[in-house]
Amino acid sequence: MADNSCRIVALGGLGEVGKNMTAIECDGSIVIVDAGLAFPRDEHLGVDLVLPDLTYLRERAADVRAVILTHGHEDHVGGLPYLLREMRVPEVWATRLTLGLVKSKLDEHGLLRSSELQEIHPDDPPRDVGPFRISFVRMAHSIPDCVAVVLETPAGRIVHTGDWKLDHTPIDGLKTDVGRLAELGNEGVALMLGDSTNAERPGMTPSERVVGEAFRQIIPLREGRILVSSFASNVHRMQQAIDVAISVGRKVCVVGRSMRKNVNIARNLGYMDVPDDVLVRPPDLEELPPHEQMILCTGSQGEPLSALTRIAYNDHPSISVERGDTVIISAKPVPGNELRVHDAINQLAKAGAEVLHQEIAPVHVSGHACAEEIRTMISLLRPRNVMPIHGEFRMQAAHAQLARDAGVPASAIVIAENGTVVELSRDGLHVVDEVQAGITFVDGLGVGDVHDVALRDRQRLSEDGVLIIVATLAASNGDSAGPPELIARGFGDGSGPLLDELRDEADRVLQKCLADDIVEIKLLQEHLHDEVGQLIYDRTRRRPMILPVVVEV
């Protein structure tokens, strides 16, 4: 690295929505902003979570000085336990609510070390970490206690916006600190790392209070049960729903492990105000008439084992829906989840419930800034260089165009990919290198042990099934001890003329190999695989996974 320069390496969050993680390096010290995860797409069969590839950080573990968390959403903090498994980080910084959510997460993983966890506040004086002087700016978002991160470096001031929007009427009254942003602009900003999620959307993002007003219009008119599904971290959304429930005399039942946990944390820390006598447990709902029930539940993304999905498919032990009930899905499907959400809506409608979602009612607003707000941010900070982050490439490109429109030269804007090494110096912003970056799959208790080969195998199994051929040889003379057995799963009907033909073909191949003195097990397996596979393709145009098993008895 050149003197008085700083390097920015995004390991996640560029060209995608989720797993946000950015490493900022200066004078041999690294500060990590956010440690997020993403949820698997349809092609990630059997995968539970998706993490950034941590190879770059693992190789530089001794240089990592701190992890700073901008807010408590999973795509910004969910990967922290897996990062702390890989390396010992001296300090983890987060605001009060974010820290509460993170402590619970680390405790589940057996990684809770309070000495590492440092609470921060937007009004704190700057803190020094190695060559960095770090301060924070309060930002409004769809979860309380969000901050932008300001890093004073030898290469100039870097502002990482985190996720944000300009909500002039937030539920907790804590607006984005426009005054502080303007001060930073006056002092000079060398680089803005800006959230791009809604950069394509024109105008301004509506206030969170719009959803509360919709709840006040909708809920008093309904006679049956009310179910409200949202992200488990959306504390203000849940608080608004509970406030309306109290005003119309409904009891509230919180269903879904993550939502119950987050409500407890938010209440204990003072971010939610819910009287004890309002909350009931799921079994207690049987004693209440439907018009006195409100159910807050997880499942707004159609997750297979979530509360709302189980309710939709009549698989929940305590809760069901019927005609006259109303279900409010107060969230937008994350890209890739649309089909699952639609399936859940169809099942709820089939049961007789009225389903309200953002396409037909104002029951959701985004937590991210739209184009007009991004223009405002750029005009406040007046950055010399801009690097769009947190979004797919089309979103980053839209953000870059907004920066150009605001007068930032095209040469001072970098649209990077995960793993791109971007260097900030007094001469400007330049791409100088590339490091290993990609994805790590979490499957059950295994982290990183599922690779593309395994996913391809799962893809084949899901599409064409599997055929197991069991051939038995006599150990004494190497002859066949009987015709091969075939076990078919996932293609055909597992019996009938095709399976008989395949069994005959497997027997023919086996006898031919033995007649030619081919008795080595690997060779027998290869012949059975290739020739039976060709017959299946000729008859069905399918290529199931074929597993020949040769047993000596």
- The residue annotated as part of the active site, out of 75, 167, 177, 195, is 195
pLDDT number for residue 483: 82
| Domains along the sequence of the chain with CATH | 6-203+366-444 (3.60.15.10), 209-356 (3.40.50.10710), 452-552 (3.10.20.580)
pLDDT score of 482 more than 80? no
Instruction: Give percent above pLDDT 90 in the chain.
Output: 67
Q: What distance in Å separates the CA atoms of residue 195 and residue 213, rounded to the nearest whole number?
A: 27
Mean pLDDT is lowest, of 236-250, 372-386, 456-470, for 456-470
Nearest to 27 by CA among 185, 204, 153, 181: 153
| Residue type, position 205, single letter | T
The residue-averaged pLDDT of 323-331 equals 96
pLDDT, tens digit, 9 for 90 and up, residues 183-216: 999 999 999 999 999 999 999 999 999 999 999 9
Q: What is the mean pLDDT of the chain?
A: 89
pLDDT, tens digit, 9 for 90 and up, residues 125-156: 999 999 999 999 999 999 999 999 999 999 99
Tell me the CA end-to-end span of the chain in Å, nearest whole number.
Answer: 66
Active-site residue 500, yes or no?
A: no
pLDDT, tens digit, 9 for 90 and up, residues 98-122: 999 999 989 988 888 866 899 999 9
Q: What distance in Å separates the CA atoms of residue 434 and residue 415, rounded to the nearest whole number?
A: 14
Q: What distance in Å separates the CA atoms of residue 260 and residue 174, rounded to the nearest whole number?
A: 25
> Which residues, including other chains, have CB under 8 Å from residue 329's CB and lie 6 or more apart?
229, 230, 300, 308, 341, 345, 355, 356, 357, 358, 363, 364
pLDDT number for residue 487: 82
- The residue annotated as part of the active site, out of 71, 73, 141, 368, is 368
pLDDT, tens digit, 9 for 90 and up, residues 437-454: 888 876 554 454 445 545
Q: Are 30 and 65 in contact (CB under 8 A)?
A: yes
Active-site residue 368, yes or no?
A: yes
pLDDT number for residue 11: 96
Total Cβ atoms within 10 A of residue 359: 10
pLDDT, tens digit, 9 for 90 and up, residues 3-61: 789 999 999 999 998 899 999 999 999 999 999 998 776 655 556 788 999 999 999 99
Higher-pLDDT residue of 497, 77: 77
Selection from 93-102, 327-336, 528-537 with the highest mean pLDDT: 93-102
pLDDT number for residue 468: 85
Of the pLDDT bands very low, low, confident and very high (cuts 50, 70, 90), residue 493 is low
